[in-house]
Structure 1
Amino acid sequence: MTRGRRRAVAAVHDAWVRHPRWSLALRGALAAALAWLVGVLAPPPLSDYPYYAPLGAVIATTSTLARSVRESAQTVGALLLGAAIALVVDAVLAPGVLSVALVVGLALLCAGWRGFGAQGAWVANAAVFVLVLGQGDDVAYVGAFAGLVVVGAAIGTGVNLLLPPLLLTPSALALGALRDALVDQLEDLAGWLDHEGPLDAEEWERRRHALFPTIEGARAAVDRSGEASRGNPRARRHGERVRAQARQAEALGTAAEVVDEVVRLLVGWEGAGRDDVALGPRLRPELADALRSYADALRGEDDDADVDPGVGLARSLDRFHAVVRDARTRSGDDLLVAGALVVVLRRGADALDG
């Protein structure tokens, strides 16, 4: 294979793993096609309604392997309950406004049961389908409708089992974006402490809140990846990568809390308009150095190539702690905020070590 072709293949693979929606579309299309064939080849009355089989397949393939099994079961239960409601109402009332209102009302009440989860809407859908489309042959229609959805869901689950989504790359990208955002925040904060004087509370509150979407996006991506790993045979082959990503997610989650707490403490106690600032000119440079060391440790590098970033962070925190103790002895002040910053940053360092 030529170098250009290898680069093209690598680019396609990179795009594929970065965009799990593509693999989702492929799985869904394959499962729907297989389900349609099964529906067409099935004996009557199933073959009269082959389009319900792809519906079940789509339900099962639009989520992770573990969730597809659960959501398929919830959907089938909701369909059967909706069909039962329609059959009972149709047996006692003639078709008309009252029967439609009663079926929809009862179905919507039942749809709220939390056992159905997000699939509760299928109770009302099934009830209306059976009531309106099953007139004259209700039992056969219900059997075909529910049976084909079950078959389609089984096919979709099988496709998910053969081609299970793992979602490690999207979560890795989200964690990388979070790490970069936290590093930028720490370095900006250190630069401010070095050169800008007291913190501008309004600006730093805005910066705090700007991090929230990145934090939530990373948490959601990691949650999806963790769910995709459950029962997934590919997760066993990539076990070390899965565990490493879980450790990184935990460390970055702690780092996000640490950065947020550091900013809140500094905005509250080292902000503009305060006469009794928490750090002052002696402690600010040491804290700035500690924040840069923490940024290096998050990034996994250090300005001194001979020093491990974790070791560099530990040394920097020790220096900051020593300066805080010395300042407390000389001034007689408690310096509670400076002490709290030492504790908060050590918590972040411990999370990286773990």
Structure 2
Amino acid sequence: MGTTATSPRIVQALKAAVAVAIAWSIAPLLPGVADDYPYYAPLGALVSMYPTLMSSVRNALQTLGGLAVGILLAGAVIVLSEPNVFTISLAVGVGAVIAASGWFGANREYIPVTALFVLIVGGPNADGYSIGYLEQMTLGILVGLAVNLLFFPPLAFEAVGHQLALFRRTLAEHLSEVADALADSWPPEKDGWASRSQELVAVGRAVRAAVSHADDSRKGNPRARLHRRDLRTDYDDLAALETVTFHVRDLTEVLTGAVWGTPVQLELRPELRPALSRALHAVAAVLRDWDPDEGATAAFTEAEAALQNLMTELDERKASAPATSMAVASTISISITRILAALRPEEAEETAPTPDAAPPR
């Protein structure tokens, strides 16, 4: 219950309610014609409440810009002609075209709506309505920004670590399934791994979105000074895992061709499957234990040894086997080599020995 009550969505909803209440309470205090349109202040508070401070500020400026453009379109109709079916439709149409440009963000539809409201709701009092509308929306937006800044400004750091860990586990589980398939009867009974490429891509996109959201949440956020996180390292880790994903998908596609002949019919020699399985299991173990800040781990050392054993076996067999029968195993060994290169800690990269035997081509 405590976790639910303090979740970002619940906190954001409570802040929106507080901002609306404050905006509605002080809206009648504005002087002049704005006092006639107090209901626009709570609306302004709502449109300014976004998950991060930077997105709130960005959206607020885009909303105010859209309102100004809509008012200008309505003013052009009033100055150059008079409101009627044709001129109102023209103003709304031009506003919709401007909104479609994407310059004014998520609330871009306020452009044609504002033009329509000024010409129809404002009517003979279009100038007073425009001023009151813009002032009250501005008041509400300022209240929303203040509430968002002063009360638990959102900071999305915690999700980054969880998402990166999920990405690693997903890749490790996939490689383990592929390794099990190689050690299973042939063709393998379990084939879920062969169609999971898009799922790996989707997980990677979700992680990139989480890191980008965390990066956005720290901008202008006073809490970021107390809760520090090196997002540059997170971006580096994400890039490494995205590279791993590319090579995992590649080796998965190659093995699919070796098992079922799609998308390309390939051959995998049975005697090579055990060494490939051991190497993939070792890489999966690296992903589960991977921490770039801690340097090379025992799992990484074991994976390099398994890869070296695989390449040695390939070298021993290539002299007596046709090149085409070695292609699948060679391609997978290259993918494993590149995966380990992407996961290798920086200090290990500087001292990494050159392999004695390169993967056969």
When the two structures are superposed, what TM-score results if normalisation uses the length of structure 2?
A: 0.82
Partner residue, 1:59: 47
Say which SS state the counterpart of residue 276 (structure 2) adopts: helix
Contact preservation (8 Å) 1:235, 1:242? no
* CA distance in structure 2 between the aligned counterparts of 1:230 and 1:81, rounded to whole angstroms: 28
Q: Among all aligned residue pairs of Structure 1 and Structure 2, give the percentage whose two residues are the same amino acid.
A: 31
Measured at CA, do residues 157 and 190 of structure 1 come closer, stay the same or move farther in structure 2, by a change above 3 Å? same
Q: Which stretch has the larger CA shift, 65-74 or 166-175?
A: 166-175
* CA distance in structure 1 between the aligned counterparts of 2:187 and 2:341, rounded to whole angstroms: 29
Q: How far has the Cα of 1:331 moved from its partner?
A: 3.0
Say which SS state the counterpart of residue 240 (structure 1) adopts: coil
Q: How far has the Cα of 1:155 moved from its partner?
A: 2.5
When the two structures are superposed, what TM-score results if normalisation uses the length of structure 1?
A: 0.84
The amino acid across from 1:352 in the alignment is L
Q: How many pairs align?
A: 337
Cα deviation, 1:35-91, whole Å, max 9, x if unaligned, reads: 223312222322221222222222222232222222211111110110111122133
The amino acid across from 2:260 in the alignment is A
Partner residue, 1:331: 321
Structure 1 alignment gaps of length 5 or more: 1-10, 302-306
The amino acid across from 2:337 in the alignment is R
Contact preservation (8 Å) 1:199, 1:267? no
Cα deviation, 1:95-148, whole Å, max 9, x if unaligned, reads: 432232122122112222332233321101111111112122222211121122
* CA distance in structure 1 between the aligned counterparts of 2:231 and 2:15, rounded to whole angstroms: 23
| Residue 342 of structure 1 pairs with residue 333 of structure 2 | yes
Partner residue, 2:306: 316
Contact preservation (8 Å) 2:181, 2:190? no
Cα deviation, 1:283-319, whole Å, max 9, x if unaligned, reads: 2111111111111111118xxxxx6222222222222
The amino acid across from 1:262 in the alignment is L
Pick the aligned partner of 1:231 from 220, 230, 242.
Answer: 220
Partner residue, 1:112: 100
Partner residue, 2:140: 152
Contact preservation (8 Å) 2:172, 2:288? yes
* CA distance in structure 2 between the aligned counterparts of 1:151 and 1:326, rounded to whole angstroms: 77
Measured at CA, do residues 22 and 221 of structure 1 come closer, stay the same or move farther in structure 2, by a change above 3 Å? same
Q: Which stretch has the larger CA shift, 123-132 or 134-143?
A: 134-143
* CA distance in structure 2 between the aligned counterparts of 1:20 and 1:283, rounded to whole angstroms: 51
Say which SS state the counterpart of residue 154 (structure 2) adopts: coil
The amino acid across from 1:298 in the alignment is L
Contact preservation (8 Å) 2:177, 2:193? no
Structure 2 alignment gaps of length 5 or more: 291-296, 346-361
Say which SS state the counterpart of residue 347 (structure 1) adopts: helix
* CA distance in structure 2 between the aligned counterparts of 1:29 and 1:54, rounded to whole angstroms: 9
Cα deviation, 1:239-261, whole Å, max 9, x if unaligned, reads: 33645543442333223222211
* CA distance in structure 2 between the aligned counterparts of 1:329 and 1:42, rounded to whole angstroms: 89
Measured at CA, do residues 140 and 213 of structure 1 come closer, stay the same or move farther in structure 2, by a change above 3 Å? same
* CA distance in structure 2 between the aligned counterparts of 1:200 and 1:71, rounded to whole angstroms: 52
Contact preservation (8 Å) 1:28, 1:62? no
Contact preservation (8 Å) 1:201, 1:267? no
| Residue 45 of structure 1 pairs with residue 44 of structure 2 | no
| Residue 170 of structure 1 pairs with residue 159 of structure 2 | yes
Cα deviation, 1:20-40, whole Å, max 9, x if unaligned, reads: 222221232222222223312
Higher share of residues assigned helix: 1
Measured at CA, do residues 255 and 104 of structure 1 come closer, stay the same or move farther in structure 2, by a change above 3 Å? same
Say which SS state the counterpart of residue 229 (structure 2) adopts: helix
Q: How far has the Cα of 1:92 moved from its partner?
A: 4.0
Q: How far has the Cα of 1:212 moved from its partner?
A: 4.0
Contact preservation (8 Å) 1:34, 1:155? yes
Partner residue, 1:194: 183
Q: Which stretch has the larger CA shift, 274-283 or 207-216?
A: 274-283
Q: Give the RMSD, CA atoms, in angstroms.
A: 2.9
Q: Which stretch has the larger CA shift, 173-182 or 274-283?
A: 274-283
Measured at CA, do residues 279 and 141 of structure 1 come closer, stay the same or move farther in structure 2, by a change above 3 Å? same
| Residue 26 of structure 1 pairs with residue 14 of structure 2 | yes
Q: Which stretch has the larger CA shift, 283-292 or 246-255?
A: 246-255
* CA distance in structure 1 between the aligned counterparts of 2:230 and 2:105, rounded to whole angstroms: 31
* CA distance in structure 1 between the aligned counterparts of 2:185 and 2:42, rounded to whole angstroms: 62
